[in-house]
Structure 1
Amino acid sequence: MAITLVVGALGVVFDTTIISVALNDLTQDLDAPLSTIQWVGTGYMLAVFLTIPLAGWAQSRIGGRRLWITALGGFLVCSSLSALAWNAGSLIVFRLGQGLAGGIMMPLMYTLLMQAAKGRDIGKVMAVITVPTALGPVLGPVLGGLILHLADWRWLFVVNIPFCLLRIRLARRELPDDRPAPGRPRARLDVVGLLLLSPGSAALLYGLSRVDGTTGFADVRVLVPLLAGLALIGGFTVRALTRDTGALVDVRMFRHRSVAGSSTLLFLGGISLFGSMMLLPLYFQSVRGATPLGAGLLLIPQGVGALAARGLAGRYMDRVGPRAVALVAFAFVAVSTVPFAFVTADTSELLLMAALFVRGVALGAAMIAPMGAAFVGLAHEEIPDAGMITRVAQQIGGAVGVAVLLVVLQRNIGAAHTPSALATGFGHAFWWAAALTACAVPLCLLLPGLPEPAAPADDTAENSENTGATAR
C-alpha cells in the first residue's frame, strides 16, 4: 500500500519542479513572454491549493481508494492534454487541471497511510511518506534537464502517461476498498467554508509569488492578494470556530500540541527547503556558469542525503520521540547552511557537494519528525484534518521562504556583474536562510517526546480506568 501511494505521489511532486528548467524553451516554442509562461508553474501551485481542503470531505463521501484512482485519472488526462497544448493559454489551463488532481492526492496519501498504521511505528511510516518530498525538489529539475537534452518540452508531460497507467493499476490492486457503508449518513460539503479557504490560500500564495527584489512586499500587486488571502482565511477560521461540526477543516485541531507545534515547524522547514532550493541553482548558474542540467546534477548530493536520512530518522523517532530528532535535525540544517554564506566564485565544488549531502541528511530528518509528530495521539477521524493543516503550512512556508530570500538576494546583488560581487550577494541570502532555520530550533520543544508506556492492566476497575487514560 505504501509503495502504491508513494509511486502515485511522485508524479505530482515531480511536476511541481520539473517545469522550472523548461521556461526558456516554452517562451520560444509558444511565442509568449516569460511573464505569461511563468503561469505554467504558478497556476499549477495555485490549483493545488484550491483542492487540498476538499480531500477530507471527498474521502468521506466516496472512500480513499476511489478518490485516489479518480485523482490519478484526472492527472493522466490533463498530462495528455498538456503534451498536446497549442499555445500558452491552453497549456496553463491543462496545468491547472493537473494541479487540481494533485491537490487531492498529496494530503490523501498522508491520510491513508496514517489511518492504516493506526498509530503504530509512526517514524517508519513517515520515512516512507517523505520519499516524494525528498526526491521532488532535487530530482525534478535534473529529470527536466535530461528530458530537454534528449527531446522537446512536450515529453515532460508525455512521460507521465505510462506511469499514470501503472499507478492506476497498482491502486486498483493494492488499496483496500473503503467505500462508505450503504445507508451511512453522507458528509455535507461546507460550501461557504470552501469559498473562503480555497481562494484565500490561493490568493496568499499568489501574492507571495509576485514578490520581487525591487519593491518587495510593498508593491500593490503583492499587498492586495496577500491582504485578501489573509482576510478570507481569517473569515474561514472565525466561521469554523463557531460551528460545532461540519467545517471544511477543523481548526480546533490546533488545540493539540502536536498539531500546533508540527505546523509551526513545517512552516519554517518549508522556508528552509524551498527557499534554499531557489538560491542554490541560481548560485551555480549565475556565479559558476553552470547549465540548468549541470546545476541540477550538483544538487543531487542533497537529495541523496535526504533519502539516506529517512530510515535512520524514522527509527530514532520511534525510539526517542520526535522532539529530540527535530531538535538535532533543525540545528544541523542551520549549521550546514552556514558554509554557503562564505561561498565565492572559486569555492571547491567537492566542498559544496559535501556540505549539500550533510544538509540533505539534516533536512530529511527535519521533515520527518514534525510530520510524524502531527499525528501522535489523534483519533482515526482527526487524521485527515491534521494532514491538510500540516501540508498547507509547509507549502505556505515554502512560498514565504522563496519570497523573502528573493528580496534579500536581489537587494544584495543589485547591479553586481562580476562573479565575486554576485557571490557576496548570495552569501547574504544564505545567512538569512540559516537564521530563519535557527528560529525553528527552540520551537522543536513544542513537539511531543517519547510517549510513556501504558501501565500494566489490572483486574480492578480503578486500575483498568487508569490504564485506558494512560494509553489515550
Structure 2
Amino acid sequence: MTTPTPAPVESDKIDAAVLKIAGVVVLGAIMSILDVTVVSVALPTFMQEFDATYATVAWTMTAYTLALAAVIPATGWAADRFGTKRLYMTALVLFVAGSVACSVAWSIESLIAFRVLQGLGGGMLMPLGMTIMTRAAGPQRVGRVMAVLGIPMLLGPISGPILGGWLIEAVSWHWIFLINLPIGIIALAAAFVLLPSDKPQPSESFDFVGMLLLSPGLALFLFGVSSISEGGGGLTTRVVVSCAIGAALVLAFVFHALKRADHPLIDLHLFQNRNLTIAVITSSLFAIAFMGAGLLFPSYFLQVRGETTLAAGLLLAPQGIGAMVTMPIAGNLVDRIGPGKIVMFGVALMSLGMGVFTQLGTDTPYPLLLGALFVMGLGMGCTMMPIMTAAMQTLTDQTVARGSTLMNIVQQVAGSIGTATMSVVLTNQMKASPEAQMVSAAAHNPEAAAQLPPGVIEQGMSAAADAFGNTFLVALVLLLLTLIPAFFLPRRKPVAPAEGEAAPVMMH
C-alpha cells in the first residue's frame, strides 16, 4: 500500500524537540572531547607543578584514554538495562565529579587517578549521545542530527589546545578542569528536563565473561600501543607483552561473543549488516589517518616554525571553519542521497589538502598551509559523521545502543593506532638526521639552542620539515586507501524500518 505523500514530508522534518535533544548531547560531547585535548598543553605545567618527568605526566592523558576504552564496551548493555536518560545523567555526574577532583589534585598520582574517574564518565557520553540522537531522529533524519554531534568532535582537537593554553596563562591549570563544572551543571539540568525517558529492559543478562575479556583486553592493547612512542619507536618488552596479552584477550572475546547467543557484551552479529561492516572498515582507515595527522599539525608549527602553543592552536582554526561550512550541508545530503558519494568527495578533498603537507619546508607560505587546512576541513565535514550515519541509519531501535558502542570502540582503537603510527614514523624520520635530533633536543632548552652553530640549526630545521612531510605522506596513503571501502557505502536515501521499528521517532 502506497504511503500518502504528506506523511514522509512531515516525518522528515527536524523539529524543535529533536534539536533540543541534540543540544543536550552536544553539551556532554563538548566536555568529553575537549578533555582529551585540553590537557595536552598542560603537560609542561604538570611537570613543574608536581616535579615529575614527562613520561609520568603523560599518564594524565593515557589514563583518561584507557578509562574511555574500558567503559565503552559495557555502555550498550547498561543503556538497555537502565535506560539511556538515566545512564547519561549518571555519566555526566561521574565526569563532573572527576573534573572537580582533578582540580584539587595534590600530587601527580592523585591527578592520574582522578583522570580515570573522569574517563569512566566521559567514555559513556559519546556512545550514549549517539544512541539518544539516533532514536530521537529516526533513520530518515539521522544524517542531519549526526552532523550536529560532529561539531564538537571536529572542534575539540582544534579548540582544546587554544582553551587550555589561555586558561593556564590567564588563571591557572586548575581551571582546565573546573571549566567543566558550570557546563556540566547546565548539561545535567537540560538532560533532566529535555531528554525523553525510555524503558529499560531488566530481563537482559549481563555478559560478565565478555566484560572480563574485552575491557582489560582493549585497555592493555591501547596501553601497549601508546607506549611505542615512549620507547623511541621501538618494540620494547612493555609494548610487546601489553599488545600481545591485550590482543589475545580481545581475540578470546571474539570467539566468546560469536558463541554466546544471549546478549553478548558487544554483538558481533551486527557485522552481518553489510552497511555497518563497510562503515566500520571505512571509519577505521579514516580514523588512523585523521587522528594521526591531527597530532602532527600543531607539532610542525611548534617545532619547525617556532610558534607558541596558543598561536599553533589558532593556526588550526581554518580546519574547523571548513568543517563547519560543509557539515550541515553534508548531513542534509546524506539523508537525501545516502552517504556514499558524500564520503568519497570528502576523502578526496582531505587528500588534496594533505598533499600540500607532504611538501613541507621551513618556509612554506602560511597562506598555502592555511588554505590546505581549510580544504581539509571542508573534507572532514563531509566525511566523519556521514560514515557514522551509514552505520547507524540501518539499525533498528533494539540494536542502536549496541551499534553506537561498537562504532565508538572502533574509533577509539583506530585513533590510538593512528597516533602511535604517526609518532613512530616521525621519530624514525627524525633519527635519520643527527642535525634534526640536536635541534629537537635543544627545542626546550634555550641555553643548549644558543650553543648550536647557525648552520646546524638551519640543517636541523630543514631535516625536521622533511620528516614531517614524509610522515604526512603516510597519512595521505591511508586516506587514499579509505576511498576503496567508501566506494561501497550506500548511495541511496535510507528506507524507514518496517513495522514497529520506527517507533523511536515518536519519542519527540
TM-score by length of 2: 0.87
Q: Is residue 275 of structure 1 aligned with residue 295 of structure 2?
A: no
Once the two structures are superposed, residues 230-254 of structure 1 have per-residue CA deviations (whole angstroms, 9 ceiling, x without a partner) of 1111111101111111201100111
State the SS of the aligned residue for 1:196: helix
Equivalent residue for 2:196, pick from 172, 176, 180? 176
Q: Is residue 91 of structure 1 aligned with residue 133 of structure 2?
A: no
Partner of 1:130: 150
| Residue 281 (structure 1) shift | 0.9
State the SS of the aligned residue for 2:144: helix
Once the two structures are superposed, residues 85-106 of structure 1 have per-residue CA deviations (whole angstroms, 9 ceiling, x without a partner) of 0000000000000000111111
Q: How many residues align?
A: 454
Q: Partner letter of residue 261 of structure 1?
A: I
Partner of 2:36: 16
State the SS of the aligned residue for 2:392: coil
| Residue 319 (structure 1) shift | 2.3
Partner of 1:48: 68
Partner of 2:266: 249
Q: Partner letter of residue 16 of structure 1?
A: V
Q: Is residue 160 of structure 1 aligned with residue 177 of structure 2?
A: no
Q: Which runs of 5+ in 2 are unaligned?
A: 1-20, 440-459, 503-508
| Residue 426 (structure 1) shift | 0.8
- What does residue range 257-272 of structure 1 map to in structure 2 within 5 Å? 257-272=274-289
Partner of 2:317: 300
Equivalent residue for 1:223, pick from 226, 234, 240? 240
| Residue 268 (structure 1) shift | 1.3
For the residues of structure 2 that align with 1:452 and 1:27, how far apart are their CA atoms?
A: 51
Q: Is residue 58 of structure 1 aligned with residue 100 of structure 2?
A: no
Partner of 2:406: 389
Say which is worse superposed, 431-440 or 404-413, in terms of deviation.
404-413
Q: Partner letter of residue 20 of structure 1?
A: S
Equivalent residue for 1:362, pick from 379, 393, 413? 379
Partner of 1:73: 93
Q: Partner letter of residue 153 of structure 1?
A: W
Partner of 1:342: 359
Report the CA distance shift for 1:453/1:164 in structure 2 as closer, same or farther (over 3 A): closer
Q: Is residue 406 of structure 1 aligned with residue 423 of structure 2?
A: yes
Partner of 2:397: 380
State the SS of the aligned residue for 1:22: helix
State the SS of the aligned residue for 1:448: coil
Partner of 2:467: 425
C-alpha RMSD of the superposition: 1.8
Partner of 2:254: 237
Equivalent residue for 1:212, pick from 229, 233, 250? 229
| Residue 401 (structure 1) shift | 1.1
Say which is worse superposed, 361-370 or 79-88, in terms of deviation.
361-370
For the residues of structure 2 that align with 1:216 and 1:57, how far apart are their CA atoms?
A: 37
Partners of 2:346 and 2:382 within 8 A in 1: yes
Partner of 1:461: none
Equivalent residue for 2:305, pick from 284, 288, 291? 288
Partner of 1:33: 53
Once the two structures are superposed, residues 118-147 of structure 1 have per-residue CA deviations (whole angstroms, 9 ceiling, x without a partner) of 212222121112122111111111111111
Q: Which runs of 5+ in 1 are unaligned?
A: 455-463
Partner of 2:477: 435
Say which is worse superposed, 127-136 or 22-31, in terms of deviation.
127-136
Q: Partner letter of residue 335 of structure 1?
A: L
Partner of 2:122: 102
| Residue 179 (structure 1) shift | 4.1
| Residue 212 (structure 1) shift | 2.2
Partner of 2:330: 313
For the residues of structure 1 that align with 2:29 and 2:125, how far apart are their CA atoms?
A: 7
Once the two structures are superposed, residues 18-58 of structure 1 have per-residue CA deviations (whole angstroms, 9 ceiling, x without a partner) of 00000000010011111111110000000011110111111
Partners of 1:261 and 1:444 within 8 A in 2: yes
Once the two structures are superposed, residues 228-282 of structure 1 have per-residue CA deviations (whole angstroms, 9 ceiling, x without a partner) of 1111111111011111112011001111111111111111111122111111111
Once the two structures are superposed, residues 194-224 of structure 1 have per-residue CA deviations (whole angstroms, 9 ceiling, x without a partner) of 0111111111111110112876352222111
Report the CA distance shift for 1:271/1:453 in structure 2 as closer, same or farther (over 3 A): closer
Percent identity, aligned pairs only, is 37
Once the two structures are superposed, residues 391-427 of structure 1 have per-residue CA deviations (whole angstroms, 9 ceiling, x without a partner) of 1111211111111111111111223132111111111
Report the CA distance shift for 1:213/1:33 in structure 2 as closer, same or farther (over 3 A): closer
Partners of 1:217 and 1:223 within 8 A in 2: no
Partner of 2:166: 146
For the residues of structure 2 that align with 1:205 and 1:430, how far apart are their CA atoms?
A: 23
Q: Partner letter of residue 126 of structure 2?
A: M
